[in-house]
């Protein structure tokens, strides 16, 4: 039976519960334990799949096709444990499950209430797979005191009482604000946050304190006294230069030891932190720099492309160089020549997205990279825009475009080189979709196999003839244009096993030009950089040395 660590937040949101959870998971792994991390979100959306990137940041996709919060990306990047559908749940999903059971008569006519029906549903979710690992780390989204989160807090309170004594602990992350006028760190917000938590029946075992300044012993002792927490369980969470410093920093502050002490695990196995020391060595002691332009449509919020930014950093680690990624709004290129904006970069990445806005700018960015021989990585929509660019400027399909844009506009304007995917094979069965289907969960989601052409650039990069990558899209490049495009030098170098769906394209007469329909960034880790990003940065490094 797993031991449970519940991570909650107080005072303000966005303090870094996800990062703290991921770092704690990495530290427990370093001591030889197995872990799994979960996220419980209070919002009423069933999942983030239909939420705007400006609202919620990127949508992280698991191998089994769940659309989840971006914190699951942190979990995977820090622990290497592949997330599953059962590692993410929202209030919307919980209520949906409860109402579905009520409609089926499974509650035998009882009055449906938050307690016990909603809380029981949450507890059932928490218990999934608890015999598989040593520790289950569960992050509760939002901040204590939020009305939306009350069912989750009540559920974890009940859950901790249902389990044998010593099987559950609570880690509470709060803010210690610094008042510059008085030169003081203020502990009162943390005291009130813990008071709020205790009022609903939860007493924190470990306090994790975010602060821009070092926390003096006096303040730690005060917090321990007034929050009824052991002195050595008051742990500082300082600001860091990079998120990958978190495991080492939290270990120095004693977070993992405090957690093990709370469980009474003594003597605790000594940690092996060689992996994280190597990660930091590659970051701190970089031997060069490359500049990469990320030309996208959600550049106002960097979290919309969080995994891409991190995967580029990992690619830099693999080459012992620092990647300076700069965000460029693709809409600019619909009004201006991209050359003055892009000439100073060593590589160009065009990421995914939905809708027509900004896509003509992405097409011009792909054209610039192809014609100027600049390394280009197109991901999902970025691959589709590269195909449309080649169709227009190489294959003579002047009005090439995507059915997605015609559907959006309500009129036919383009020859659909990219079309709405209506059916595909998933495992042993065929999936069918219509344009009129609900948006949530209806895309081609999760891990699918691709077969790589012998002698292709991607086959060299992967070192394999078959790969498995995660997808999230509902529009696909039309195979009917393959012969015409390959005759112009755009090679369909990766295909689905049945040969019907293009997975990868590359330009033959180019140093490095690859477009992929899937999302390789979702599987990259600092200690295991994704091969596409590692080779993309290598190609950028070669260009930088020629400049």
The residues annotated with a catalytic role in the active site are 380, 519, 521
Which H/E stretch holds residue 37?
strand 35-41
* E runs forming strands in 100-152: 135-140
Which positions ≥6 away from 152 have C-beta within 8 Å?
A: 40, 42, 91, 122, 140
Quote the radius of gyration of the chain (alpha carbons, Å). 25
How distant, in Å, are the alpha carbons of 136, 341, 540 from that of 289?
39, 19, 10
Buried-state track 463-495, b at ≥16 Cβ within 10 A, e below 16: eeeebebbbbbbbbbbeebbebbeeebbbbbbb
According to DSSP, the β-strands at 400-402 and 376-379 are unpaired
Neighbours of 454 (CB within 10 A): 7
Please name which of 151, 198, 194, 197 lies closest in space to residue 176, comparing C-alpha atoms.
194
According to DSSP, the β-strands at 415-420 and 475-477 are antiparallel
Q: Coil, strand or helix: which one is 461? A: helix
How distant, in Å, are the alpha carbons of 2, 172, 175, 190, 193 from that of 12?
30, 12, 7, 10, 10
> Count H helices, E strands: the chain?
19, 25
> CB of 133 within 8 A of CB of 2?
yes
Structure tokens at 155: 């559920």
Buried-state track 16-36, b at ≥16 Cβ within 10 A, e below 16: bbbbbbbbbbbbbbbbebebb
Which positions ≥6 away from 47 have C-beta within 8 Å?
A: 66, 67, 68, 88, 90, 92, 93, 440, 441
> CB of 49 within 8 A of CB of 460?
no
Rounded to whole angstroms, the Cα distance separating 321 from 319 reads: 5
Structure tokens at 419: 């079309």
How distant, in Å, are the alpha carbons of 302, 355, 394, 472, 515 from that of 358?
17, 8, 22, 19, 18
Neighbours of 337 (CB within 10 A): 11
Rounded to whole angstroms, the Cα distance separating 304 from 57 reads: 4
């Amino acid at each position: 039976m797993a031991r449970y660590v519940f991570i909650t937040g107080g005072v303000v949101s966005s303090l870094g519960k996800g990062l703290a959870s991921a770092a704690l998971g990495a530290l427990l792994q370093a001591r030889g334990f197995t872990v799994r991390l979960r996220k419980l979100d209070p919002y009423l959306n069933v999942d983030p799949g239909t939420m705007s990137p400006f609202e919620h940041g990127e949508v992280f996709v698991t191998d089994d096709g769940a659309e989840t919060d971006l914190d699951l990306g942190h979990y995977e990047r820090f622990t290497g444990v592949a997330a599953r559908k059962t590692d993410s749940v929202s209030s919307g999903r919980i209520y949906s499950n409860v109402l579905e059971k009520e409609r089926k008569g499974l509650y035998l006519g009882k009055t449906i209430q938050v307690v016990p029906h909603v809380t029981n549903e949450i507890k059932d979710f928490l218990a999934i797979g608890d015999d598989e690992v040593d520790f289950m780390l569960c992050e509760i989204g939002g901040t204590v005191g939020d009305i939306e989160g009350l069912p989750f807090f009540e559920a974890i309170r009940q859950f901790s009482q249902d389990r044998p004594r010593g099987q559950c602990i609570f880690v509470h992350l709060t803010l210690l604000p610094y008042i510059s006028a008085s030169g003081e760190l203020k502990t009162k917000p943390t005291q009130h946050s813990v008071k709020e938590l205790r009022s609903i029946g939860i007493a924190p075992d470990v306090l994790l304190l975010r602060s821009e300044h070092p926390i003096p012993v006096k303040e730690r002792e005060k917090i321990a006294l007034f929050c009824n927490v052991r002195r050595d369980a008051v742990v500082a969470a300082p600001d860091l230069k990079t998120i990958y410093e978190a495991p080492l920093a939290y270990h120095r502050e004693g977070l993992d030891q405090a957690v093990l002490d709370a469980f009474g695990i003594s003597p605790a196995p000594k940690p092996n932190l060689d992996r994280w020391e190597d990660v930091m060595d590659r970051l701190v002691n970089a031997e060069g720099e490359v500049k990469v332009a990320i030309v996208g449509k959600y550049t106002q919020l960097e979290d919309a492309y969080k995994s891409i930014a991190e995967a580029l950093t990992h690619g830099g680690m693999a080459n012992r160089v620092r990647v300076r990624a700069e965000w460029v709004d693709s809409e600019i290129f619909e009004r201006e020549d991209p050359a003055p904006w892009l000439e100073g970069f060593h590589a160009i990445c065009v990421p995914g997205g939905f809708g027509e806005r900004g896509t003509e700018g992405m097409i011009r960015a792909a054209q610039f990279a192809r014609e100027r021989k600049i390394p280009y990585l197109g991901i999902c929509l970025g691959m589709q825009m590269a195909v449309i660019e080649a169709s227009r400027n190489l294959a003579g399909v002047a009005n090439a475009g995507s059915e997605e844009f015609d559907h959006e506009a309500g009129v036919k304007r383009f020859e659909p080189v990219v079309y709405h995917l209506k059916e595909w094979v998933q495992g042993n069965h065929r999936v069918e979709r219509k344009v009129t289907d609900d948006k949530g969960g209806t895309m081609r989601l999760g891990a699918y196999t691709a077969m790589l052409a012998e002698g292709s650039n991607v086959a060299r990069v992967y070192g394999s003839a078959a790969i498995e990558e995660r997808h999230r899209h509902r529009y696909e490049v039309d195979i009917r244009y393959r012969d015409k495009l390959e005759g112009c030098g755009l090679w369909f170098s990766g295909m689905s096993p049945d040969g019907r769906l293009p997975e990868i394209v590359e330009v033959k007469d180019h140093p490095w030009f690859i477009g992929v329909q899937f999302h390789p960034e979702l599987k990259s880790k600092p200690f295991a950089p994704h091969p596409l990003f590692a080779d993309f940065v290598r190609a950028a490094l070669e260009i930088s040395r020629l400049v």
